[in-house]
Amino acid sequence: MKNLKTVVLSNQEISPGYYRMRILAPDYTRLAKAGQFIMFRVQRSLLPLLRRPFGIFRTGFMPADCETMPPKEFIEIIYKVVGGGTEIMRELHHGDSVEILGPLGNGFEFGEPGEEKVLVGGGIGLVPLYMLAEKLVEESRVRLYMGGRTRDDIITVTEFERLGVRTHVSTEDGSVGDTGLVTVGLEKKLQEGGKMTVYACGPMPMIEAVEKICRRYGVPLQVSLEALMACGVGACLGCVVKGAGHSDSTPSYLCTCKVGPVFDAKKLDWGNSPEQSVGNCGGCQ
């Protein structure tokens, strides 16, 4: 965990409205765990003032500029342009100065080796699942259910396939894959039975639906949540979600940045629709 003043290596549109940014990040291949995030800052600007949280898509090495230098270590983030902050990010180029704070948060638990792993991603929610898949394919069969509104929201699926993940794509408008919600395929899969663990990240209505299905079939579930956050280090208390057993008389608020962003679904309160703006990441501002 540290604040790194660094530079953008590349920043490209990979699907209409979705960008992939590669950032020079020494030590991240060693430090970053699947499911962790960074707080990203366009250097020294007051607009936007606050950093934005972004899940780490992957880490890696690329060749240095000349042969005598060591390879460059990088992270990649993927973001959707939705407002002021991400509109500025879209304009960044190779060599532009940025600051990243991280890696932050807890990351996924990998479950039992051998059992099947089922990933469920909705749109930009796919991002933290890639590093998880990289890890899980070493010891388990991995399936990905990827959903979006249109084909534009279906990103990086071929990269999951290259890892050996079986992928199932669905879109609400039917422009690619099955027509309908991503949860339809998931439910069919869970009906088949067998020992498995489900991992989900996406908009809150999707996560709630996945939770209901997993609970019905008694399948363990880990969810990665997004939340509005100012600091990312557990100080502002802006990003809290309700923990299991929360009530007005015995309130339980957990920091998404510190206790999460990955939660065992059993540790959260699903009783009434959470009012937190999960699924409404900082990038939406």
Partner 1 sequence: MIKRKDKIIRPKMEVEIAGIKLRNPIMPASGTFGYGEEFAPYLDLNSLGAIVTKGLSLNAKAGNRTPRICETVSGMLNAIGLQNVGVDVFIKHKMPFLEQFDTPVIVNFFGNTQDEYAEVAARLDGVPGVAALEMNISCPNVKHGGIVFGTDPKAIHEVVSQVRKKTSKPLIVKLTPNVTDIQVTARAAEEAGADALSLINTLTGMAVDVKTRKPRLANTIGGLSGPAIRPVAVRLVHQVVQAVSVPVIGMGGITRAVDALEFLIVGAKAVQVGTANFVDPTAMSTILDELEEFCLTEGIEDINDIIGSLVV
The least CB distance from residue 79 to partner 1, in Å, is 16
Asked whether position 233 contacts partner 1 by CB under 8 A, the answer is: yes
**Nearest residue (CB) to partner 1, 71 versus 251:** 251
* Single residue of 34, 133, 231, 262 touching partner 1 by CB under 8 A: 231
**Nearest residue (CB) to partner 1, 197 versus 276:** 276
Asked whether position 271 contacts partner 1 by CB under 8 A, the answer is: no
The least CB distance from residue 232 to partner 1, in Å, is 8
The least CB distance from residue 129 to partner 1, in Å, is 24
Asked whether position 2 contacts partner 1 by CB under 8 A, the answer is: yes
77: closest CA among 133, 38, 32?
Answer: 38
Asked whether position 3 contacts partner 1 by CB under 8 A, the answer is: yes
Q: Which stretch binds partner 1 (CB under 8 A): 10-18, 128-136, 191-199, 227-235?
A: 227-235
Residues 39-78 that bind partner 1 (CB under 8 A): 41, 46-51
Asked whether position 91 contacts partner 1 by CB under 8 A, the answer is: no
**Nearest residue (CB) to partner 1, 10 versus 285:** 285
CA distance 145 to 157: 10
**Nearest residue (CB) to partner 1, 119 versus 254:** 254
CA distance 49 to 5: 16
The least CB distance from residue 179 to partner 1, in Å, is 27
CA distance 224 to 263: 6
Q: Which stretch binds partner 1 (CB under 8 A): 130-138, 170-178, 208-216, 270-278?
A: 270-278
**Nearest residue (CB) to partner 1, 182 versus 240:** 240
Binding site for partner 1 (CB under 8 A): 1-3, 41, 46-51, 99, 101, 227-231, 233-241, 251-253, 258, 275-277, 285
